[in-house]
Structure 1
């Protein structure tokens, strides 16, 4: 018989096993409260519009889930109400349990209101427990940073998770016991919070809206709860209705605020909402909030026709006197800003039913831009080359790499909220590149702007956005200083040293940006030249 050799196979799992933990903090944050508490933020508005009236609060809200965000951007307004604590550990070398529940008792470290639970991963990478990687924010203690390598470096893929407490949160006192219940499934972790003196943070107990519940993004909830935004929109609609007698009004997008505002402000207007994304859910929603907003559904209807040109039959043989949008398209939140020029396309498609003196809201869009230093974001989108002896360049096209591209290639514009881009610095004033005139049918257009650098630094790209002129005097901006909208980021192939004339020895002192809009595709082409 031949010799037999026994071979023992050993599996190595990275991350390993025994300390793969979701770490958590209880936090107070006015900004995070704005992202989910529409009920109490709406109560501060002076417009008399109720998007979430008593009895139907749950019909419009964010999903009950964790949301990924870079918490370092909110460091200055975070108040920590606990020490970091763990809820589960996961041993990746064995098959995980599909469902687990636990409850931990935490002592509050400060007086305050718990608005959210922030969580991140602490990963043990080796068997011996000597190598750890933490995906937590920078404001973890310095001692933890030195113990866990990898902490403190901005990585786009290492966002933290935010779990919102319902409505205005939970008030706690220093040293008070807080009970955090956690449950995980195969794909998610959820939390419930209570004190020894309170019931679980269940919020309002409304009748279940069933399948008609509308879930909006946290950013859209914040917009609808923003008193300044609401007041601006309210006054624009109020002024427009003063110019019309018993108008036929079209709300062309998925705005929930506008049809209610029009129906509440005018007892003679007839409102047709198209709701291209919300569809039947939008109809049910308008019915549910009608009595609280003092309008009847015989003056407000939702058309069931989709992506079709309106006819005079649709408008009851009446020309449209008011054509409006925010613009907001449900399910379209992660696209480039100019994708909302869909409003212009639809205004053109429905041109035959518009009256000669129709009021268009918004009446104009303005493409604006500025130059910025974005070192973290540029590195996160840089082309891969050889890493630890392995060629990773094959993954560049799949990952959408932009930085360090070959000279004959150009990266795309990326939709991203600048306040979540890590380190950033404006290097120029804002410039206007071109305008989109919604009073006229859609057409190709182009524009050029000269950008003079006002700060010295390394330019990594340009940030572009659209500001909306709702009427001749009301402008709603979606720029990088606004925390509720995504901008378009055009990264450079290679960063460029820039500066002001006479103040620095820089490579460039200005640049020219050219943009052209193609109405057939909805694309915006961006070109630039440094001087």
Structure 2
């Protein structure tokens, strides 16, 4: 039911210490929470309602894009109908157990299809209560019993939660990786304790598909590549980083947005492994090897993975999560974000020739999968799950590795540094895990400092510096800018203060304005003629109509004839309390159409200190396209020198209106959702107001469609 991709949507990674206190005005309980402000870098206390976490959990349980998945809903319904019919044809009563009922949808489908008894379990109490109300509202209160427990806690027997074992199990416990949300232990426990031997599960089975591919794009998300510096030695990753297996976690993306021109298939899609949920004869760990013909000469970089569900025992009702370019329905394939596709990376690239046979191995444990490929078959024993041993894949996300490998982006910084860096220059870098200090040292600077307060990031950078023989030229400091002692630079002044800017703690694009706060803290250390790179930034935006992203927030209303507005109200109310209006998203994965030209919202001058007073910027942008305004995309652009800009948004100027949007794949853009989704027409206006509060390190937006 849940997908690991949705963790990308979490807006705050706050460390919290909750202290209850009573408001004298409202007599309601409040929590005093400590958190690190990602923009200012300082610890701060925030007062929130005591029910904040409660509402956030409800809002996170919504996953309305899943409920908008018409194909999923229809095929579950038909699979349930068939399972009940089969049981009745066997002369048996149909006893249904719905695990993780959520809205109660599958239970209501079962009751409507003629099940003789229906029990539904839901562990999260607020959702369980909502399910009871929805079931009653739809007229099934006397047919469906909701058990507010995990399935592993459900008891069976005359005095138990359910009177007898079930023989039909509809469940949606899958994620992008199929088993990442615990499908394996959930089904195994159900077969041991909750189900009859001749039961039918809906879905009945799943098949995992894998395609070996060559792709520089994919590989650059996995391994740091040498940075070429014209006229100088390259900056190279340490040997242990090059040999590292990488992160163990799956990389889930919308593969439909990776065009066939961006990868080369090495094999056809391979049916790697089946999971028969009705039999439950799989293990908590397993391994399967498939021999495959090599289609073309090339390099095996990784695996594209997806899966199919067979909703019935005959295999006639199939649901595929394949990307559109491999899907039986092609471009008409159902869009979904709760199930995407996954990318797995090999330890090392493997060179292959057309016509060769290679062996592709899939391994899994309770919650994850991993793949291997080779010319010889691996032993039929457990293969170790890949684990990062170099530290880089722990501290750097895959988009960050891709950013560091972006030769165009790095080339812009290098060209600017070539103009300003001299041997005697005192250069200081303020960015997490940046290659800028190594580039500056390669260009001849012998006094380079880099601030790395994060211990994991610091270790990785120290390895990079050591392996490139730059220990004498680069000093790694473990403090942030606000903590540096006065004598840290030996009474010298900074000539070049540089940053990408990039910080691990940043979630929204403007959180990287932390560079500005750090520059302000270092003001007394700056030479009068110091160069600040970047020297300024601007926040930009464009109004968009999304093809599908709006479904994250849209109420569902009715699903296959069942009224779920109670669930909509619960989620919308909790979302209003706990969710920010602006969210981070990798917009290259979500097709959209522009409704305005791209426009400036506000600017930030890094050559000056952060101001003390709130800055408000207002403006109006003209609507150029016709459509529903789902939101405003927001991104930062940084000026490195007079002629050089780095964008974290579109990779080229935006004509308008257009669908030809090519976003920076390595950065998340902000999306300020306008949940009323107003219709706009050419000639209309959108008024905006941006408020920057320097003391709080916050940006607030107000957009009004006129």
**What TM-score, normalized to structure 1?**
0.82
> Which residue of 2 is the match for residue 529 of structure 1?
704
Q: Indicate conservation of the 8 Å contact 1:312/1:319, yes or no.
A: no
Q: Which is further off, 9-18 or 67-76?
A: 9-18
The residue correspondences of 1:265-344 to structure 2 (distance < 5 A) are: 265-276=443-454, 278-291=456-469, 295=470, 297-306=471-480, 308-330=482-504, 332=505, 335-344=507-516
The residue correspondences of 1:34-433 to structure 2 (distance < 5 A) are: 34-39=220-225, 42=226, 46=230, 48=232, 50-53=234-237, 55-58=239-242, 62-77=246-261, 78-92=263-277, 94=280, 97-110=283-296, 112-126=298-312, 129-142=315-328, 145=329, 152-166=333-347, 170-173=351-354, 175-195=355-375, 215-242=395-422, 246-276=424-454, 278-291=456-469, 295=470, 297-306=471-480, 308-330=482-504, 332=505, 335-385=507-557, 387=559, 388-390=562-564, 391-393=566-568, 396=571, 400=575, 412-421=581-590, 423-433=591-601
CA distance in 2, matches of 1:20, 1:128: 13
CA-to-aligned-CA distance 1:54-84 (integer Å, 9 cap, x gap)? 7444378852543000001113424444333
How many residues are matched? 490
CA RMSD of superposed structures (Å): 3.5
Q: Indicate conservation of the 8 Å contact 1:279/1:304, yes or no.
A: no
Matched, 1:21 2:193: no
Aligned to 1:256, the other structure's residue is in SS state coil
Q: Indicate conservation of the 8 Å contact 1:249/1:271, yes or no.
A: yes
CA distance in 2, matches of 1:522, 1:328: 16
CA distance in 2, matches of 1:386, 1:194: 50
Q: CA deviation at 1:478?
A: 0.9
Closer, same or farther: CA 37–270 of 1 in aligned 2, 3 Å:
closer
Q: Indicate conservation of the 8 Å contact 1:28/1:112, yes or no.
A: yes
> Which residue of 1 is the match for residue 667 of structure 2?
485
Q: CA deviation at 1:169?
A: 5.2
Q: CA deviation at 1:487?
A: 0.5
CA distance in 2, matches of 1:298, 1:119: 46
Q: Indicate conservation of the 8 Å contact 1:250/1:323, yes or no.
A: yes
Q: Indicate conservation of the 8 Å contact 1:253/1:327, yes or no.
A: yes
Q: Indicate conservation of the 8 Å contact 2:229/2:414, yes or no.
A: no
CA-to-aligned-CA distance 1:186-238 (integer Å, 9 cap, x gap)? 22111111235999xxxxxxxx9656876522322222222221221112222
Q: CA deviation at 1:352?
A: 2.6
CA distance in 2, matches of 1:286, 1:112: 30
Matched, 1:473 2:657: no
CA distance in 2, matches of 1:397, 1:234: 48
Aligned to 2:325, the other structure's residue is in SS state coil
Closer, same or farther: CA 60–103 of 1 in aligned 2, 3 Å:
closer
CA distance in 2, matches of 1:523, 1:61: 39
Q: CA deviation at 1:386?
A: 5.8
Q: Which is further off, 459-468 or 442-451?
A: 442-451
CA distance in 2, matches of 1:314, 1:300: 14
CA distance in 1, matches of 2:252, 2:460: 27
Q: CA deviation at 1:437?
A: 0.8
Give the counterpart of 1:447 among 617, 622, 630: 617
Q: Indicate conservation of the 8 Å contact 2:533/2:640, yes or no.
A: yes
Q: CA deviation at 1:12?
A: 3.0
Q: Indicate conservation of the 8 Å contact 1:56/1:288, yes or no.
A: no
Q: Indicate conservation of the 8 Å contact 2:482/2:518, yes or no.
A: no
Closer, same or farther: CA 265–320 of 1 in aligned 2, 3 Å:
same
User: Which stretches in structure 1 are left out of the alignment for 5+ residues?
Assistant: 200-207, 502-508
Aligned to 1:392, the other structure's residue is in SS state helix
CA distance in 2, matches of 1:82, 1:186: 27
In terms of fraction of residues, the more helix-rich structure is 2
Aligned to 1:12, the other structure's residue is in SS state strand
Aligned to 1:87, the other structure's residue is in SS state strand
CA-to-aligned-CA distance 1:416-461 (integer Å, 9 cap, x gap)? 011111x311222211111011111112323234322333333211
Closer, same or farther: CA 398–249 of 1 in aligned 2, 3 Å:
farther
Q: Indicate conservation of the 8 Å contact 2:493/2:525, yes or no.
A: yes
CA distance in 1, matches of 2:245, 2:163: 58
> Which residue of 2 is the match for residue 517 of structure 1?
692
Closer, same or farther: CA 209–127 of 1 in aligned 2, 3 Å:
closer
CA distance in 2, matches of 1:172, 1:37: 23
> Which residue of 2 is the match for residue 504 of structure 1?
none
